[in-house]
Amino acid sequence: MKKIITLIAAAACMSFSQRPEVALITSPVSGSTAKFIVNRKSSFPTNINWSIGYNKDLPMVTLTWPAFSMPGLGPVDFTFLGSWQYINPTTTTSIYWAGTGFTLTANTSYTMNIAGVNYYFYWPGNGSTCVITGHS
Q: What is the pLDDT of residues 17-65, one digit of tens each?
A: 333 333 334 444 444 444 444 444 455 666 788 899 999 999 999 999 9
In degrees and rounded to multiples of 5, residue 135 shows phi and psi of: -155, 160
Whether residue 125 is contained in a domain is answered as yes
Same domain? For 65 and 100 the reply is: yes
Distance between CA 97 and CA 127 in Å, rounded?
Answer: 18
Same domain, 36 and 80: no
**Residue 95 shares a structural domain with residue 60:** yes
Question: Are residues 121 and 56 part of one domain?
Answer: yes
Q: For residue 92, tell me if it sits in a domain.
A: yes
Q: How confident is the model at residue 127 (pLDDT cuts 50, 70, 90)?
A: very high
> Is 45 contained in some domain?
no
Establish if 31 belongs to a structural domain. yes
Q: How many domains does the chain have?
A: 2
b/e map 64-77, b = 16+ CB within 10 Å:
ebeeeeeeebeebe
* Residue 27 lies inside a defined structural domain of this protein: yes
Domain encompassing residue 80: 51-135
Residues 83 and 126 in one domain: yes
- pLDDT value, residue 46: 67
**3 state SS of 134:** strand
Section 88-115 average pLDDT: 93
Encode 36-54 in three state secondary structure. Answer: EEEEECCCCCCCCCCEEEE
